[in-house]
Amino acid sequence: MKVYKLVEASGDGPFVFGGESAYLAAWPKNPDGQDLILLFTINCKIARQRLKRSDLPSEGFLHVFSTYDPDEYFIDSITADEVQQTKGVASYTYVVHANGGKSVKSPRPSIPLRFADFEECSIDDDDELSVASLLALDAPAGALIPTELSENYDFLCQVYSSDFPAPYQDALYMTDGVGYLLVNKYIGNDKSDGCFFVQVA
């Protein structure tokens, strides 16, 4: 199947791991009151054009946040079972579309910036789980996307935990963890702009 793998970019790129600021009015917290960490940001305009994704907004950015605590067990909080589809409700992971403008700085230590670009390639459409960070129209083999999420969201990308900059290769709790980003088919309705979760074997 055709996919777009994430490859490191020397300068600016349409996909950005980490960062200490986001285009929001306030930094998001999880239901326990903990500040979330910014995992990555996608430039919607570039991604929409390059990936030919009409389900992406024509402008702005998709910010993806998650619960993260290197000293605590948090994997159960970021699985598909904990995804919050209702907009405006605190969640252990958080996906939001922002149009840019004023930004807010993270109140917690942040993942260092790493820019990435899209590289078109093909992967074997077999039964093995691909652990590469990639974007595709359909979820790769091995990805378990709950049916109830597929009703309102389209698969956009998967990220491999070890691709995060050091020392945050455990950003998804396990260094071999794979996280999935799904985007709202109709951003702007009463559902969250997207959902992100980690698949547990």
The per-residue pLDDT string of the chain (201 residues; one tens digit each, 9 = 90 and over) reads 899 999 999 888 999 999 999 999 999 999 999 999 999 999 999 999 999 999 999 999 999 999 999 999 999 999 999 999 999 899 999 999 999 889 999 999 999 999 999 999 988 766 556 778 999 999 988 888 999 999 999 999 999 999 999 999 999 999 999 999 999 999 989 999 999 999 866
Full-model pTM: 0.95
- Spatial contact of 24 and 108, defined as CB atoms under 8 Å apart: no
Q: What is the CATH number of the domain that holds 139?
A: 2.30.320.10
CA distance 89 to 64: 15
Residue 102 vs residues 14, 23, 167: alpha-carbon distances, Å:
19, 6, 29
For residue 183, the surrounding DSSP H or E stretch is strand 178-184
How many structural domains compose the chain? Answer: 1
Enclosing domain of residue 55? 2-199
